[in-house]
Structure formats: C-alpha cells, structure tokens
Structure 1
Amino acid sequence: MIKAKIHDKEKERLALLNLYSILDTPAEKDYDNLTKLAAEICQAPISLITLLDDKRQWFKSHHGIDVSETPIEHSFCAHAIIGDEEIFTMDDARDDARFLDNPLVTGNPNIVFYAGIPLKNATGIPLGTLCVMDRKPRILTDSQKESLKILSEQVINLLELRTNKLELEKTHKKLKKFSKKLEKKVFQRTNQLEIKTIKLELMINDLASFYHICSHDLQEPLRKIQMFISQISETEYDNLSVHGKHKLERIDLSAARMRNLIQDLLTYGYNENLENSMMNVSLNKMVDDVKDVLSQELKESNTVLKVLSDCMITVRPIQFKQLLFNLFTNAIKFTKNKEFPSIEVNGEIIEGAAYPNLNLSVETKYTRIVVADNGIGFEQKYATKVFEIFQRLHSNEEYQGTGIGLAIAKRIVLTHRGRISVESSPGNGATFEIFIPLAE
C-alpha cells in the first residue's frame, strides 16, 4: 500500500475546510439524497461524500456502509484530490500497487472499484470527493461520469449555501446584540415607544444593503442546483428506478423550499423607507386588491372573505397589502379539517386615549383593524412567539411554510409606528388586532 502525497496547498486546503464548519456535523437529508442518487445512477452499492482533514477521511454522507470515517492513510480519496484528473477511477484496485494490500481492499468493505470526483471550491482547492465504490471490477459509462460530475457540483453548492446561511445567522446575532446595547442606553433618556422606533430604523437602514447582497449570494448557487436537477431529469430520469426518481424529486422540493425561504427573507428585510409614500386609503380598497391577487386560492379553498366595516387608513399601500396577504394566506393554510375558511375584517377610527394599556399616543387618532378567522388556532402562550422570525408551531409535514410571514406582518406594522397583537385558542381560530396612526 502506498500512502497518498500531501496536497501542494495543504495548509490552505485545511484552513478552507475549517471555514466551512462542516466536519462532524449531523447527517442531513439533502446530502444523503445526493449519495443515494449517485449510487442509483452508477448502479454502485456504496457512495460517499468524503471530506479530508490531516488525519482522516470523514463522511458527511455514507450510503451502503455504516462507518463515518477511516484513517487518511487508507483513503482512496486522498489520491483523488492530489491529481489533475476531473474524475479519479480505479477499475480494479487489486491490480494497483497503491491499493492491493489496503485494509479497505483486503478486508471490509472489500473495495475493488472506485470512482471519485474532487469537491473543489471556486479557487480550485479540493475539500474531499463525491465517490462511488463496488466490490467487483467496473467501468462507468460517459453518461454516468457526467451525472456524477453534476451531483458533485451540487454538493459544492450545498456547502456554499451552508456557509452563506452561517454568515447570515452570525450577522443577525451581531445586529441583535448591538440593538440590545442601544436599547439599554436610550431607555435612560426616552420612553418605550421611542426605543422601539430608533431600534427599528437602525435595523432597517443597516439590513437594507445586507439583504440586497445576500439575495444574489444565496440565489445564484440555488439557481445552479435547479439547473442541474433539470439536466439530470432530461438525460437520466428514464434510467432511474422508482426510488431514484423519488430522491431526485425530493431534491427538487428541497431546492424549492430554499427558494421560498430566501424570498421570504428578502421580503422581511425590504422597506420602502419613503415618508411621502404614506397615503390615506380605504381599508376595503386594500382588501379588494389582495383578494384579486388571491382569487385562485380563495376559489380553490372556498374561502369566505368579507369586510364588515370600512374606514380610512394611513399606510404605505404596497407594504400594507403584503401584511393583509400574509394574514389571509395564514388563515387559508391553517384551516380545520372539513371546514371552509372564513375571514372577517373590521375597521374603525379610535382615539389613542381609549386604549390606555397599549402605550398609544393619547393625542393621536388610530385606525383599529381586526382580522378574525375560523382556523385551527393555537394556545395563547404562543401569542408573542408567532411574530418572531423562523418561529413555527407546526412541522413542515403538517403545514408548509418558512416561519417568516407573521414576522413580516409585525415589521410592516412597526414601520407604520403601530402595534399588532393576536388572541387565539386551539380550535377557535385567531383574531389579529392592529393599530395604525391615522393622518389628518
């Protein structure tokens, strides 16, 4: 057995691998789906997503074997990453001096055939491989090699998406920490309403450019994943088993969920930020505009949506229609079994002094808007949690969603210097109460 040489840029390679923060992380379905699909396409019993540090090869996903890592000196993948070949293949390892007495060849899992594609980042530095293996001699077809290459590019895209997500979370934590410090300082000189206003304006201004940058960095690799899925569907779909087709469809669904999450994140960070965009409009007009957008959903779900009492509101129309859209779609989504959704909207003009417990300005008139539905409801103890970003009360299997819709609704209300709350109980729907300052 001959141990592989150390990569020419080993220090840089190990530093890059550490930057991805992927080693020793739990199994993830998106990676497991790729190894299963690779095994299906290549008709190989074993497939791996391997990442190499200085002492071992660790498997982010392993299909066909139970171990999660092996010593690097036994690694086929260590040989694969040091060459210039696009794909490193070994038709029969027993005939090669580098591997003939390798424990992985002479013992379990008795590897004979190996084909691995290095997983390289944009600078061409390899982190590991996507590989398939068999216990008998094999030769891959050109079509199988091309498919394996496409899948390896999807692995890199998943790693890049993971890095972008970690950076997004890290930045969000920093902003949250900074906002808490600011709130403590300002509290000594102003009232609670002013604190919320300053905190909101700071976050909106800082996040506007941040979300714009992330929109490209997150969506570009996602578009590539969807393009590769489309290519596999066109060239290899008929060659897949029913199980393989199912896995490919699951990957496509995962990409769609990621796209929806990114779009919701961008909506969450978006703000018109123009004082002169505020308008006095009819609540009924806003509801009618949203009903036009949701006409198909309302028809398919047999939803009854009506405005019981109309009034004027002072809002940014685009934002406020987004708020109503999120409340209405939630009401349609979270419907009790065998019941048709019902949504009732009420509006009235009130004096801030009439609600002394809500910290409203006593000298200001407000539009009070109530949106009530007959959905499944939830326990009142979650009334604050539902407005937090990424907070969900149900699994994706029960109800699809990203956990951002009500966070967007709250942000829109806050940009209007208003307030929003909800009353609910299991089985009795939810009633949202919104207060928006009314301009003369």
Structure 2
Amino acid sequence: MIKAKIHEREKERLALLQSYSILDTLPEKDYDNLTKLAAEICQTPISLITLLDDKRQWFKSHYGLEVSETPIEDAFCAHAITGNDPIFITKDAREDNRFHKNPLVTGEPNIVFYAGIPLKNANGLPLGTLCVIDDKPRTLTESQKESLNVLSEQVINLLELRKNKLELERAHKKLKKFSKKLERKVFQRTNQLEIKTIKLELINNDLESFNHICSHDLQEPLRKIQMFISQVSDTEFDNLSEEGKHKLERIDLSAARMRNLIQDLLAYGSTETIDNSLTTVSLKKLVDEVKDVLSEELKEHKTVLRVQKDCEITVRPIQFKQLLFNLFTNAIKFSKREDKPVIKVSGKIVEGSDYPELELAEEKRYSRILVSDNGIGFDQKYERKVFEIFQRLHSDEEYQGTGIGLAIVKRIITTHNGQIRVESSLGNGATFEIFIPLADQAI
C-alpha cells in the first residue's frame, strides 16, 4: 500500500474547503440524487461525494455505504485529487500495489473497482471527488465517463450555490446590523429628512449586492446545471432505469426551484429601480389587472377573489401590482386543502391620526387596504418573521417557496413610505393591513 502524495497547494486547498462551510452538515436531497444517479448510470452498488480535509475523507452523500467518513491515509480519493487525469480509475485494486493492502480493499466495503472525478473549483483546486465503487472488476464506457463528468460539474455548482447563499446571508446580516447602528447615530444628530436619505443609500447598497449576485453569480451556474441536465437527457435518458429517470427529473426540479429563487431575488432588488412615477388610481382597477394575469391559477384552484369596497390609492402601479400578485398567490398557496380559497380586498381613506400605534404622519391621509384570506394562517408570534427575506414557516415538502414573496411586499410598502401589518392565527387565515399615503403626500 502506497500513501497518496499531499497536494502541492494543500494549505490553499484546505482554506478553500473551509470557505464552503459544508463539512459535517446534514444530508441534502440534491446531493443524494446525484450519487444515486451516478450509481445508476455506472451500474455500481456504491457512489460517493467525498470532501477531503487534512485527516479524513468525509462523505457529503454516500449511496450504498453506511459509514460517513474514513481516514485520509486509506482514501482512494486522496490519490485522485493529486493526479493529473480527469478521471482516476482503478480496475482491480487487489492487483494495484498502491491499494492491495488497503483496509478498504481487504475489508469492508471490499473495494475492487474505483473511478473518481476530482471536484475542482474555477481555479482548479480540488475539494474532493464524485466516485463510483464496486466489489468486482469492471470498466466504464465513454458515455458513462462523460455522464459522470457532467454529474461532477453539478456537484460543484451545488457547492458554489451554497457558498453564494451563505455569503448573501452574511452580507445581509452585516448590512442590517450596520444599518441599525448607523441609524441610531444619525437619528441623534439629524432630522427626519436626513434619516430617510441614509436609509435610501443603504437600500441602494443592498440592491447592488443582490443584483450582482442574481445577475451573475447565481444565474451562470444555474445555466450550466440546466445545460448538463439537457445533455444527460438527450444522450442517456433511454439507457436509464425508471428509477434513474426519476432521479434525473428530480435534479431538473431542483434547478427549477433555484430558478424561482433567482427570479424572486431579482424582483426583490428591482422594487427600488422600476416604475418610479406615482399615480392615483382605483384599487379595484389594479386588482382586476392582477386578476387577469392570475386567471388560470384562480380557475385551477376555484378561487373566489373580490373587491368588497374600492378607494383611490397613490402608488407606483407596476410595483403595487407585484405586491397584490404576491399576496394573492400566497393566499392560494397556503389555502386549506378542504376549502376553496377566498380572497377579499377592501379599501378606504383614513386619517393618520386615527392610528397612533403606527408610525403614520398625523396630518396626512392614507389609503387603508385590507387583503384577507381563509387559508391555514400562522401563529401571530411570527408576524415579523414572515416579512424577512429567506424566512419560511413551512418546509418544501409542505409548501414550496423561496421565502422572498412577503419580503418583496414589505419592501414595496417601504418605498411608498407606508406601513403594513398582519393579523393571523392557525387555521383562521390571515388579514394584511396596508397604509399608503394618498395623492401628493407620498414620497
């Protein structure tokens, strides 16, 4: 048995691995789907996604193997990441002097055949491998090798997407913390106009960060994932078992979920940059326009959507229609399975002084808009959480979503210098109460 060489850029490689914050995380379906598909394509009993630190190889996903890590000195993958071959293959480890005395060969899982593709970042540093293993000799066809390479690319894309999301969340928390600290200092020294200016500057910085991540860092790897899925579907789909076809379809669904996330992020950022002209319009007119857009979905779910009382509102129409769209689709999504969704909208003009509990200008008039539904509702203690970006009260298995829809609603209200609150309880639907300054009193 011959121990693998240490990578020539080992210190840099380990630092890169730590930056993903992936080691010792819980299993994830997207990674498990890739190992299952790799095993199905290559017809092997074992497939692994391995990540190597300085002491062990840890398995982010381990299909057909019970253990979650092994010592690095026994790792076939340690040889794979230090070689120059695009795919490291050992047809029969029992006859290879590097491995014939390896405990993973002489004992469980009795490795005979091994094929691993290094998982490299854009700069060529390897984090680990996507590998397939068998307890008997075998060879891979060129088509199987190509498919394994495609799947390894998708593993890297998942890792990059995870890293980008973590960086986005950290940046958002840092910005939020900085915003609160700065706001307190400014509030002591300036008037309300200066405070609003600082808030707009912080929002613009936040927007630039979101636009950059959405327009490049997230969309580029997503396009690659979709391209690779298409390639596998075109060349290998008929050769897959029914289970393999199912797994490929699951990967395609995962890509669709990421596409929805990106679209919602772009919508979240665009609330500051589009449709800047304020217009006084009928609330019912905007509701009817959104109703037309949602006609198929409303019909499919047998949804009742009606305006009980109309009033004038002074808004940026495109933005406010996006707000209504998000509230209506939210009501449909979280409807009770046994009842058809019912959404009621009403509006009236009120004085700011009538609501001392809110931060409304007492001398101004506001359009007060109520949007209520008969859905599953939520515990009132989560009132603030539902408006925070990436915050969700349900898992994907229960209700799919990105946790951005109501954050967009809150941001649109903020750009209109308005207020929003919600009342709800479990099983009793939700009522959103919106206040928008009327006519020339708005921003």
* TM norm structure 1: 0.94
Partner of 1:207: 206
Q: Give secondary structure in 1 for the equivalent of 2:61.
A: strand
What percentage of residue pairs aligned between the two structures are identical? 74
Amino acid at match of 2:369: I
**Equivalent-residue separation in structure 2 for 1:234 and 1:276 (angstroms):** 45
For residue 196 of structure 1, report the CA deviation from its aligned partner. 7.9
Contact persistence 1:332–1:341 (CA under 8 A)? yes
In terms of mean alpha carbon deviation, does 160-169 or 371-380 score higher? 371-380
1:226–1:312 Cα change, 3 Å? same
Contact persistence 1:204–1:269 (CA under 8 A)? no
Give CA-to-partner distance per residue, 1:83-102, whole Å, 9 cap, x none.
22111111111111111111
Partner of 2:160: 160
1:135–1:196 Cα change, 3 Å? farther
Partner of 1:81: 81
Q: Give secondary structure in 2 for the equivalent of 1:236.
A: helix
Contact persistence 2:55–2:71 (CA under 8 A)? yes
In terms of mean alpha carbon deviation, does 138-147 or 277-286 score higher? 277-286
Q: Give secondary structure in 1 for the equivalent of 2:362.
A: coil
Amino acid at match of 1:165: K
Q: Following superposition of structure 1 onto structure 2, how do residues 1-400 of structure 1 map, counting pairs within 5 Å?
A: 1-189=1-189, 197=196, 200-215=199-214, 216-273=216-273, 277-400=277-400
Give CA-to-partner distance per residue, 1:157-213, whole Å, 9 cap, x none.
11111111121111111101101212322343578x879845642332111211111
Amino acid at match of 1:293: V
For residue 273 of structure 1, report the CA deviation from its aligned partner. 4.6
Give CA-to-partner distance per residue, 1:238-284, whole Å, 9 cap, x none.
22222222222222222211221222122222234579511111212
**Equivalent-residue separation in structure 1 for 2:207 and 2:329 (angstroms):** 26
**Equivalent-residue separation in structure 1 for 2:385 and 2:18 (angstroms):** 34
Partner of 1:419: 419
For residue 391 of structure 1, report the CA deviation from its aligned partner. 2.4
Contact persistence 2:275–2:317 (CA under 8 A)? no
**Equivalent-residue separation in structure 1 for 2:147 and 2:130 (angstroms):** 11
Give CA-to-partner distance per residue, 1:128-155, whole Å, 9 cap, x none.
1111111111011111111111011111
**Equivalent-residue separation in structure 2 for 1:78 and 1:378 (angstroms):** 49
Q: Give secondary structure in 1 for the equivalent of 2:230.
A: helix
Give CA-to-partner distance per residue, 1:38-61, whole Å, 9 cap, x none.
111111011111122222222221
Q: Give secondary structure in 2 for the equivalent of 1:357.
A: coil
Contact persistence 1:204–1:271 (CA under 8 A)? no
Matched, 1:438 2:438: yes
**Equivalent-residue separation in structure 1 for 2:274 and 2:253 (angstroms):** 37
Give CA-to-partner distance per residue, 1:72-128, whole Å, 9 cap, x none.
222211221222211111111111111111111111111111111111111222221
Structure 1: which 5+ residue stretches go unaligned?
none
Contact persistence 2:275–2:319 (CA under 8 A)? no
Structure 2: which 5+ residue stretches go unaligned?
none
For residue 297 of structure 1, report the CA deviation from its aligned partner. 0.7
**Equivalent-residue separation in structure 2 for 1:335 and 1:128 (angstroms):** 44
**Equivalent-residue separation in structure 2 for 1:54 and 1:377 (angstroms):** 49
Q: Following superposition of structure 1 onto structure 2, how do residues 394-413 of structure 1 map, counting pairs within 5 Å?
A: 394-413=394-413
**Equivalent-residue separation in structure 2 for 1:52 and 1:425 (angstroms):** 48
For residue 337 of structure 1, report the CA deviation from its aligned partner. 2.5
Cα RMSD of the aligned pairs, angstroms, is: 2.0
In terms of mean alpha carbon deviation, does 259-268 or 146-155 score higher? 259-268
Q: Give secondary structure in 2 for the equivalent of 1:277.
A: coil
Q: Give secondary structure in 2 for the equivalent of 1:188.
A: helix
Contact persistence 1:183–1:195 (CA under 8 A)? no
Contact persistence 2:172–2:206 (CA under 8 A)? no
* TM norm structure 2: 0.94
* Runs of 4+ displaced beyond 6 Å: 193-196
Q: Give secondary structure in 2 for the equivalent of 1:139.
A: coil
Contact persistence 2:271–2:408 (CA under 8 A)? no
**Equivalent-residue separation in structure 2 for 1:425 and 1:60 (angstroms):** 39
**Equivalent-residue separation in structure 2 for 1:100 and 1:353 (angstroms):** 83
Q: Give secondary structure in 2 for the equivalent of 1:372.
A: strand
For residue 428 of structure 1, report the CA deviation from its aligned partner. 2.6
**Equivalent-residue separation in structure 2 for 1:159 and 1:381 (angstroms):** 34
Amino acid at match of 2:438: L
1:129–1:371 Cα change, 3 Å? same
**Equivalent-residue separation in structure 1 for 2:342 and 2:202 (angstroms):** 36
For residue 308 of structure 1, report the CA deviation from its aligned partner. 2.1
Aligned length: 439
**Equivalent-residue separation in structure 2 for 1:427 and 1:170 (angstroms):** 34
